[in-house]
Amino acid sequence: MRDRFRRVLIVVEGVYSMDGDIADLPALIQVRRRHGALLMVDEAHSIGVIGATGGGVGEYFGVDRGDVDLWMGTLSKSLASCGGYLAGSGALVDYLRYTLPGFIYSAGLTPPNTAAALTALRVMRAEPDRLTRLRQRSAEFLRLAREAGVNTGTSAGTPVIPCIVGDSLRCVHLANTLFERGISVNPILYPAVEERLSRLRFFITGEHTSEQIERTVQLLADELDTLVPQQLVEVQ
Ligand SMILES: Cc1ncc(COP(=O)(O)O)c(C=O)c1O
């Protein structure tokens, strides 16, 4: 199969944005090696989230960063700004600088956005308890949700925690009902996920309190109870 293609690029997310599981990066690096492929990691949901100092999936697994051809991330999530980054070998970065349409016809990062992201990074390094709290709160939400019978899919203790409902209309209805009770959660529908895997996607932050988490899971469980059971997807 591999010999049918001149180049192969494997693209993965560090933490999966819809399911909250973590890519098995060491295994993917082996696949890259074995098949002479290129590997790209989107760290949108892993930078500032996993890894001892929030350094992302590379730090989480302690892999040689040079074993990934292209690191990509956004500044718009844990880094509280707007814009993004690409990192790779000097040759690759030069190539991208002169060929990516986005670099040819659009402006770069603004100074305020750059300063905001840099400050977020510095705060993260200076105040590691923020990451500890984020992990504790995420684990707390996941545990309570599972105990309440919520289908959290393959979420692996990251701050991305789905509640798989399996029906777009019900998802939107649930999201609206929770919003009226002061809880902001987005419904994720087809084509972001398969229709049968439509879900609410909860994002936990280190600023959420235990009380907020308990109340949210309780309200979610109460609302799910009002749905007809066979219309919920079975726990995977
Ligand atoms: C997996 C993933 N990659 C990249 C992005 C891009 O983020 P932005 O356009 O805010 O830089 C997002 C945003 O939702 C994302 O979820």
Are 111 and 187 within 8 A, CB to CB? Answer: no
113 lines ligand 1 (CB under 6 A): no
Q: Model confidence at 106, in pLDDT bands (50, 70, 90)?
A: confident
For ligand 1, say whether the CB of 76 is within 6 Å of any of its atoms: yes
CA of 79 to the centre of ligand 1 (A): 12
Q: Give the residue carrying structure tokens 């300063």.
A: 115
Instruction: Read off φ and ψ for residue 70, nearest 5 degrees.
Output: -140, 120
Whether 155 is a known active-site residue: answer no
Domain boundary among 126, 144, 176: 126
Q: What is the pLDDT of residues 33-64, one digit of tens each?
A: 999 999 999 999 999 999 999 999 999 999 99
User: What per-residue confidence (pLDDT) applies to 226?
Assistant: 85
In this predicted structure, the answer to whether residue 232 has a pLDDT above a threshold of 90 is no
22 and 68 assigned to the same domain: yes
Same-domain pairing of 19 and 74: yes
Q: Ligand 1 within 6 A of 17 CB?
A: yes
132 C-alpha to ligand 1 centroid (Å) = 24
Q: Are residues 85 and 168 in the same domain?
A: no
Q: Which domain holds residue 146?
A: 129-235
Centre of ligand 1 to C-alpha 16, Å, is 11
Q: What is the pTM of this model?
A: 0.91
Backbone angles phi, psi at 119, to 5 degrees: -65, -40
Q: Are 57 and 43 in contact (CB under 8 A)?
A: yes
Question: 35, 76, 77, 198: which is the annotated catalytic residue?
Answer: 77
Q: Is residue 30 a contact partner of residue 23, using CB atoms and an 8 Å limit?
A: no
Residues 103 and 142 in one domain: no
Question: Cβ contacts of residue 150 below 8 Å, gap of 6+?
Answer: 163, 217, 220, 221, 224
DSSP assigned state of 94:
H
Q: Does 67 lie in the same domain as 15?
A: yes
Say if residue 179 is in the same domain as residue 83.
no
118 shares a domain with 137: no
Q: What is the CATH number of the domain that holds 208?
A: 3.90.1150.10
Q: Please, which pLDDT band fits residue 75 given cuts at 50, 70 and 90?
A: very high
CATH number at residue 117: 3.40.640.10
Is residue 168 part of the annotated active site? The answer reads no
35 labelled catalytic:
no
Q: What is the DSSP string of 43-84?
A: -TTTTTTSSTTS--HHHHHT--GGGSSEEEEESSSTT-SS-E
